[in-house]
Structure 1
Amino acid sequence: MKGRVLALLGIVLCAFSLRSAVASLSPVVELIGEDFAVPSAVLGVIGTLPPVCFALFGILTPLLERLLGIEKLTVIALVAITAGLVGRGFAGDSIGLLAATALVFAGVGMGNILLPPLVKKFFPERIGLMMTLYTTAMAVSTFLPPLVAVPVADAAGWRFSLAMWAAFSLAGVIPWILMLVRPPAVAAAERTSPRERVDDAAFVETGPVATAPTTRRLFSRLVRIPLVWALALTFGTSATMAYVSFAWLPSILVDSAGVDAATAGFLLSLWAFIGLPASLIVPVLVVRFQATRALFVFGSVCALAGLLGIMLAPLPQLLWLWMVLFGLVGLLFPLSLVLISIRSRTSESAVLLSSFVQSAGYVLAAIFPVLVGILHDVTDTWIVPLIAVAAVLVLTFPAGMIAGRRGTIEDEWERRHGAW
């Protein structure tokens, strides 16, 4: 029992650290600029670092996990985040800030991949509940840093404002170290088997236990399974909406609706806040009631309605409605993470599935913010870029339907090619 409590603390603290590490920098960039110059080129690189690092370390993480084990690699990821956050607080120039930020995102990239398999390994019979807890922690840590970063910086300086978030990632290291130093026999006894106390709905999704083949063999199989690509496109759509919104939504609202920067920032926070209730309800609805397709359709259609509202009726008094509707695309993020856990039979295959899905998804997310900027520069309007964003939701709709099909990647392979 003690081991599962430690795993619970470790998972929640890790989840909180992944988003707070990303969201705590941009609010204080202007204050940093008062101490040393931060060129636009450096800010541009920092802006593209998250999806690039997430994709790169998404590929490397399964290889490292096979060598080190999932708990040790989680410790390494959290230590990297901690060191990077402290390093940002001590940065003396823009290059130091960039290097420290890259270290942060390297750790976050590993943590992104490891969390769904950690849930599957330690809580196979409580996937819905655990996904609710950790996606809620991620949602809270998305909108909390922008709210407190500037007041803390005004009171204690921007260096403290950046470095203070390291306390959470450092605290997240402690449960995993305690897990690692336990005697092997105790650890094995405390770990729940995937067949123990499994809810009926969850068992339908997870299926029987299988032994994962080697990393290279499994990756070669993943690319041949349509379900895997459907999961990747579903996750990629969610990530694309997020990075496009954080990069361009305030500018779109200022230019299209004529609101001031403060109002645009508040509306962006409203858009992000919608992810909190989504993180509370989606995992349970998926695991307990298999509502995958209904949630995907609802989130996508509402997001399309919000985008159409921004394009066709960008009236200040209606912007809150368009932000709420568009913000419901946040349903797709916890939905994608839950599917990574329940569309694989073992924690080992979940690591590789998580790696493939998130790496491919973040490649898409890295492309679209740049594409939106190019389309805006070429057309001198936001209509064409918004149409391109809406097209992503429409074109990936079939992928959401395939992702909602019950079963695992192992089931899919066995139906098509025989024994796993």
Structure 2
Amino acid sequence: MSALTLRAAVTAFSPLAETIGADIGYGTATLGVFGMLPTAMFGLAGLVGPVLVRRFGLERTVLMAMLAAGAGSLARVFSSGTGELLALSGVALLGMGIGNVVIPPLVKRYFGDHLASISSLYIVMVQLSTVIPAFVAVPLAQAHGWRISMGVWALFGFAAAVPWLVVLRDRRGRDTVDTTALPASTPQTGKVWRSPVAWGMAGMFGMTSLTTYAMFAWLPTILSDAGASAAFAGTMVGLFALIGLVPALGAPTVVARMRNPFPVVVGCMVLFAIAFVGLLVAPMHLTVLWVLLLGLGPATFPMALTLINLRTRTPQGSAALSGFTQGVGYAVACVGPLLFGVLHSATGGWLAPFGLLFLAIGVLLAGAWQACKPRMLEDTW
């Protein structure tokens, strides 16, 4: 239920952005700000999340995150101005971003012996929270108005808070750590930014996110520029999002069974490269194939989320690695769609923007080389 809230505020808004702008009075320039807001707030959550975990514990932090997601999503539908809409959307997105950070260590705490299956479950829920609001936003708005269309997703945040209230009541607020299974020499705290594991994870996660968000933002324009109709371009974006369910289901299990899953990352980069070349050279020929390959390439996203738990010994280590990975990763991803657009505007073509993406997958490979090595964060921080 928590994972099902983690993208709703993003994809419930995007299809309605122009309609909302016409109603409350913002232009196309402001759309770029709204486009960067999710990754900016997710990056901020990577800094804030670990601090809240140390202060309040995992369970209280995720409860606050779900309540913030619900409250922000509900309050923003009453906005009458652009600043108000931005601020309240920021509250909802910060709550969801903190949820991004704390769910991996919660999986480690409660399901340490079922990491692959539970990771698959929550990552699939994240994918569904991306796909479903995008598909139903416009029909709901046409039937009931944009405020109802966006507001219904607040219910998911409030509903996800209820089980955590039950958990906290059962634990009476305790936030204990089992350290009996740790080697005596294992440090309980450390400086995560000193670890090559952490930087590798951040590179892997950040470059996957940069590439994915750039494609979400620009794939319709790439196809429209090649002569596709708006309906076809929109369908291809939906397919790109939907195909992400396949690696979400399978990648955590594959990663958990491999001592070093780096060869899988190499395979993903090959899929990315073929898709990039296809969209650059022949965007209107075999388009579905290019988009399918493009949707399978980000299997490195569920891989990274699973590795957060596989490369740590404790929920505290998992929380630290999760916060660092997602904080740095989303901060980098924030500039992806912007740089892609700037390069397109500067050159008038798509070669330079796709050159940026090829550079990104090169950095991704370098990061994954470090992240996939069979070693623990606590031994390197």
Q: Rate the CA distance shift 1:195–1:287 in 2: closer, same or farther, 3 A.
A: farther
Structure 2 residue aligned with 1:299, among 245, 268, 271?
Answer: 268
**Number of the residue aligned with 1:8:** none
State how 1:4-403 maps to structure 2 within 5 Å.
Answer: 13-182=1-170, 184=172, 213-214=188-189, 218-219=190-191, 222-255=192-225, 257-290=226-259, 292-314=261-283, 316-403=284-371
SS at match of 2:367: helix
Residues 275, 293 of structure 2: 8 Å contact kept: yes
Q: Rate the CA distance shift 1:40–1:268 in 2: closer, same or farther, 3 A.
A: same
Query: CA RMSD of the aligned region, Å?
Result: 2.1
Bigger shift: residues 222-231 or 270-279: 222-231
1:124, distance to aligned residue in structure 2 (A): 0.7
Number of residue pairs the alignment of both structures matches:
381
Determine the C-alpha separation between the residues in 1 that align with 2:5 and 2:260.
Answer: 29
Determine the C-alpha separation between the residues in 1 that align with 2:335 and 2:89.
Answer: 20
Bigger shift: residues 286-295 or 228-237: 286-295
SS at match of 1:49: helix
Alignment-mate amino acid for residue 276 of structure 1: L
Q: Rate the CA distance shift 1:183–1:237 in 2: closer, same or farther, 3 A.
A: closer
Determine the C-alpha separation between the residues in 2 that align with 1:377 and 1:409.
Answer: 42
Residues 212, 349 of structure 1: 8 Å contact kept: no
Residues 208, 364 of structure 2: 8 Å contact kept: no
Bigger shift: residues 374-383 or 89-98: 89-98
Write out per-residue CA displacement over residues 371-419 of structure 1, whole angstroms, 9 at most, x where no aligned residue.
1111111101111101111121123313222222112112345xxxxxx
Write out per-residue CA displacement over residues 64-99 of structure 1, whole angstroms, 9 at most, x where no aligned residue.
111111111111111111011101221222222111
Alignment-mate amino acid for residue 230 of structure 1: G
Residues 241, 329 of structure 1: 8 Å contact kept: no
Structure with more relative contact order (C-alpha pairs < 8 Å, separation 6 or more): 2
SS at match of 1:38: coil
1:57, distance to aligned residue in structure 2 (A): 1.9
Q: TM-score, normalised by structure 1?
A: 0.86
**Number of the residue aligned with 1:406:** 374
Bigger shift: residues 127-136 or 263-272: 263-272
Residues 123, 192 of structure 1: 8 Å contact kept: no
Write out per-residue CA displacement over residues 13-70 of structure 1, whole angstroms, 9 at most, x where no aligned residue.
1111001121110111233234321233332221111111111121121111111111
Q: Rate the CA distance shift 1:212–1:263 in 2: closer, same or farther, 3 A.
A: farther
Q: TM-score, normalised by structure 2?
A: 0.94
Residues 124, 192 of structure 1: 8 Å contact kept: no
> Percent identical across equivalent pairs?
36
SS at match of 2:31: helix
Determine the C-alpha separation between the residues in 2 that align with 1:210 and 1:129.
Answer: 31
Determine the C-alpha separation between the residues in 1 that align with 2:186 and 2:258.
Answer: 28
Residues 187, 378 of structure 2: 8 Å contact kept: no
Residues 73, 150 of structure 2: 8 Å contact kept: yes
Residues 137, 149 of structure 2: 8 Å contact kept: yes
Q: Rate the CA distance shift 1:238–1:39 in 2: closer, same or farther, 3 A.
A: same
Alignment-mate amino acid for residue 70 of structure 1: L
Alignment-mate amino acid for residue 303 of structure 1: F
SS at match of 1:125: coil
Determine the C-alpha separation between the residues in 1 that align with 2:311 and 2:169.
Answer: 31
SS at match of 2:23: coil
**Number of the residue aligned with 1:200:** none
The answer for unaligned runs of 5 or more in structure 1 is 1-12, 197-206, 414-420
Determine the C-alpha separation between the residues in 1 that align with 2:63 and 2:185.
Answer: 27
Alignment-mate amino acid for residue 114 of structure 1: V
Q: Rate the CA distance shift 1:194–1:295 in 2: closer, same or farther, 3 A.
A: farther
Determine the C-alpha separation between the residues in 2 that align with 1:31 and 1:374.
Answer: 25
Q: Rate the CA distance shift 1:95–1:395 in 2: closer, same or farther, 3 A.
A: closer
The answer for unaligned runs of 5 or more in structure 2 is none
